[in-house]
Amino acid sequence: MSAKTIVTTEALMKVGDLPLGLTVQPGSTVDFKTGDWRSALPVLDREKCSYCGFCYVYCPDGVYQDMGPEKYYKPDLDYCKGCGVCAHECPKKCIQMVIQEV
Amino acid sequence: MSAPKGKSDSARAIGLEVSLAIAEAVKLAEAEVVAAYPITPQTHIVEHLSELVANGELTAEYVPVESEQSAMSACIGAAAAGARTFTSTSSQGLLLMAEMLYIASILRLPIVMAMVNRAISGPINIWNDHSDAMSVRDCGWIQVFAETGQEAVDLTIMSFRIAEDPGVLLPLIVNLDGFTLSHFIEPVILPEAAEVRRFLPPYETAHKLDIQNPLSLGALGGPEIYTEARRALDLALTGAKPRIQRVFDDFAKVFGRQYKLVETYRTEGAETILVTMGSISETAMTAVDEMREAGQKVGLVRLRLWRPFPVEEFRAAVAGAKNLAVIDRAMILGFPEGPVATEIRALLYHEKNRPHMTNFILGLGGRDVPRSHFKHIVERVRELGASGRQGRYELVGVLE
C-alpha cells in the first residue's frame, strides 16, 4: 500500500498464521487477558476490610486471590473486567470502583 | 447432454428418481453420519438414506433430529469428530439451519449438503426457484448447481473428495432444482462401488477432535482477530477453485464424464449469450438449438460453480459476445437486478469491451420455464439493442 496515512491495527495475528479452523489449544484461555475490557478498577481500602471474603465469593470471574497472612483479597487485574459486583456486595463498603482513563 | 458418456456406460444406465439416485451416491461415498430433518422437496433423499441405513446397506449413523438447526449442529459435531458427513435441506429448513452454516465454514469442516432448491415463503410455496440458495450466498460454503440427475450423482460423489481435500477443507452445497430435477425419473449411471472407493478413499484427517490431542473448536474471535479470520476464510474459498477443477478432471479419468466450472454451449460466434444455472439450462440448450437452426447467433453459458465464483472462467466464456442475457431464479427485493446479474455486472464493470447486459428473472416459485421463454428473451435483447434498457430486471411472464 502506498497511501500516506498509516492504518493502525489491533490485530493479534496475521491471516496466514491463523490455525486451520481457528482451533484453540487446551489451557490457552489463561493467555487471553480480558482485563483490558475493563473501564473501572476495584480499589480496596485495607483499613476498613474485615477479610470476610465476600468479594472472593461473589466475583463472577474468580479473579480474587486469598492473600493469606496478609488478610485481604487481591483482584488479578489481567482478568478483572471491572463489573463492580465485589464493590456492590462488600458489607464494609471498602471497595471503590474507580473509572480508568484510556 | 452436458457431459459425454464412457463407452460401456450406456448399458448401465437405469431409470431412477433423482432424489433416490443422490441417496445411492451418498451410499457409494460411504458417508458415516447423516443428520437430517425432512422437508419438501428434499424428503426423498433422506428418507431413502434412512432406509439404506435401516436395511444395513449403508453403515452410517443416521440421526433423525428435531429440526434443521439441530441437523447442521449434529453434522458439525460429526465432522469435527472426523466423520464423513451428509445432510440435505430446502427453503424454510435452510433458513432454520442458516446460523449453523456459517459455523461449519469457519471451522473448516467438510460437510456435504444437497440443497433441493425451493422458493422461500411467502406466500407459502413448495416449488422450485433459487431464492433459498441465494439467501445463504455468503455462508462460506463451496456451492455448485447440478443440471441433470447424472450430474447430481456425480457432483455428490465429487463433493466429498473436494470438501475433504486437505488443501480445501470446506463444506459444500450441491444445489439441484426441487421437483423439476429432484422428483424426475432419469436415466442415471451409478458408478461401481469399487471404483468410487478408489476415487474417494475413506476420510482421514488430523483436523478433528481427538482425546489424545485435545483442542477447542468454535472459540470467541473478538475485534482483534475477526477481520483476519474472515480474510482467511475468503482466501480458503477462493483458493479452492483450481482444486475443484482438478477433482472434476480426476473424475473424468476414472468415470469418463468431464465437468467444468463454467460450461459453454454453442457460444462460437454467438452475438447473444444466455447465462443460466441449474436444470433450466437443459431447456435453454434445446431453445438455443432451435434458434441456431433458425439462423440466430445465440449461445449459452452455464455456471456450475457458484461459490467461489469462477471469475476468470466466466470472463473467458463470454468474451466476444455483444449481448448478455443473465437469467435469475430469484429477486433481490429493493434492488434493480437479481443476484446473479448483479454479480456479473460487477465483474464486467472493469472490462474494456463490455457486452450489453440485461437481466431476466423467471421460473419463480415453480412457474414453468418453457423454451419459448428463452426465445422471447433473445428477441427482447435484440429489440432493446445497444441503447437498450440496462440495469433493471425484466420479469418474464409477469401479469401486471
CB neighbourhood size of B239 (10 A): 13
Helix (H, G, I), strand (E, B) or coil at B247: helix
Residue A2 lies in a domain: no
**CA-nearest residue of chain A to B233?**
A21
Q: To the nearest whole angstrom, how far is the Cα of B224 from the nearest Cα of chain A?
A: 4
Confidence of residue A29 (pLDDT cuts 50, 70, 90): confident
Residue A70 lies in a domain: yes
Question: Residues of A with CB below 8 A from B231's CB?
Answer: 15
Residue A55 lies in a domain: yes
Question: What is the CATH classification number for the domain harbouring A100?
Answer: 3.30.70.20
Q: Determine the residue among A9, A22, A32, A33 to mutate to test chain B binding: the one whose Cβ has the most chain B Cβ atoms within 10 Å.
A: A22
Q: Is the pLDDT of residue A1 over 60?
A: no
Task: Using CB atoms within 10 Å of the CB of residue B123, give its burial: 0 to 12 exposed, 13 to 18 middle, 19+ buried.
Answer: exposed
CB contact under 8 A, B216 and A18: no
Q: Is the pLDDT of residue A65 over 50?
A: yes
* Segment B212-236 mean pLDDT: 94
| Residues B17-62 pLDDT 10s | 999 999 999 999 999 999 999 999 999 999 999 999 999 999 999 9
Residue A44 lies in a domain: no
Q: Determine the residue among B215, B227, B230, B234 to mutate to test chain A binding: the one whose Cβ has the most chain A Cβ atoms within 10 Å.
A: B215
What is each CA distance from B391 to B131, B303, B335, in whole angstroms?
A: 20, 21, 10
Size of interface A-B (CB pairs under 8 A): 52
- Domain architecture of chain B: domains with CATH: 10-255 (3.40.50.970), 262-395 (3.40.50.920)
**CA-nearest residue of chain A to B227?**
A11
Q: What confidence score (pLDDT) does residue B5 get?
A: 46
Residue A8 lies in a domain: no
Q: Is the pLDDT of residue B9 over 80?
A: no
Using a CB–CB cutoff of 8 Å, tell me whether A57 touches chain B.
no
**CA-nearest residue of chain B to A22?**
B107
Residue A71 lies in a domain: yes
Distance CA B279, CA B116 (A): 12
Average pLDDT, chain A: 92
Domains: count for chain A: 1
Helix (H, G, I), strand (E, B) or coil at A71: coil
Helix, strand, coil shares, percent, chain A, to 5: 25, 15, 60
CB contact under 8 A, A21 and B214: no
Average pLDDT, chain B: 95
Q: What confidence score (pLDDT) does residue B348 get?
A: 93
Q: Is the pLDDT of residue B1 over 70?
A: no
Q: What confidence score (pLDDT) does residue A100 get?
A: 86
ipTM value for the complex: 0.85
Using a CB–CB cutoff of 8 Å, tell me whether A7 touches chain B.
no
Q: Is the pLDDT of residue A89 over 50?
A: yes
| Residues B237-296 pLDDT 10s | 999 999 999 999 999 999 999 999 999 999 999 999 999 999 999 999 999 999 999 999
How big is chain B, counted in residues? 400
CB contact under 8 A, B217 and A10: no
Residue A65, domain extent = 50-102
| Residues B285-341 pLDDT 10s | 999 999 999 999 999 999 999 999 999 999 999 999 999 999 999 999 999 999 999
Q: What angle do CA B339, B345, B349 make, to 5 degrees?
A: 150
Q: Is the pLDDT of residue B4 over 80?
A: no
Interface of B with A (CB under 8 A): 106-109, 169, 207, 214-219, 221, 223-225, 227-229, 231-232, 235
| Residues B102-119 pLDDT 10s | 999 999 999 999 999 999
* Segment A12-37 mean pLDDT: 91
